[in-house]
Amino acid sequence: ALTVFFDHIPLQQIHGGHLRAYQMKRSEQAGPNKVNQELSLLLRILRCAGLWSAELQQCYRPLKKPFCDVPRAMSPDEQVHFLEVAATRREWCMAYWFSLVALETTCSHCEMRGLHLGDVDFYQRILEVRSAHAKNKYRVRTIELSDLAIWALERIVQRAKAMGSLAPQDYLFPFCCGRGSWDPKRPMSDSGL
């Protein structure tokens, strides 16, 4: 992209107007991070050639990067790799089942932790996300369960029952009170998984 734009301009003739024109033209096809990276390369070339001046320094302003507080999600390949690794060890089975259900249902960590036994309906193949643990009022929903989610939830329910969650209002992921001691009336902590 730099070569196409600056091909006909000798290095010693590049000025701040060229840099700004490049930003505007290139922004039609690329995001601010990419444009800044490309111009960064040009600036290094100009410095190495001894042509970077105080005037260019004063004129050049990198494009502002858009603010995003949402962390990057795993790619489909990364998800497959994560699940393959999680499935390899018995002590990781809970993380594997939890992750399968979360990925199949789009439930967040707090929504998963807030699930009760009564929120899982194997007969109708649905999962209820209730307002108490939904991230916001728009996240309260009924989710149709895939075969894979059913498979993982069957194992999670067996585990919950073994930990004392027997009533519909008991948590699917009960709180760990200590080694081998569980409180089914409280959800697992943030670090419970």
**91-114 pLDDT, tens digit each:** 999 999 999 999 999 998 889 999
| Reported pTM | 0.62
pLDDT by residue, tens only, the chain of 193 residues: 999 999 999 999 999 999 999 999 999 998 898 999 999 999 999 999 999 988 888 889 999 887 776 777 888 999 999 999 999 999 999 999 999 999 999 998 889 999 999 999 999 999 999 888 877 788 899 999 999 999 999 999 999 999 999 999 999 999 998 888 999 999 998 877 7
* Count of Cβ atoms closer than 10 Å to residue 38 Cβ: 17
Q: pLDDT for 42-62, tens place per residue?
A: 999 999 999 998 888 888 999
Judge contact between 140 and 129, C-beta under 8 A: yes
User: What region, left, alpha or beta, does residue 107 occupy, with left being phi > 0 and alpha being psi -120 to 50 degrees?
Assistant: beta
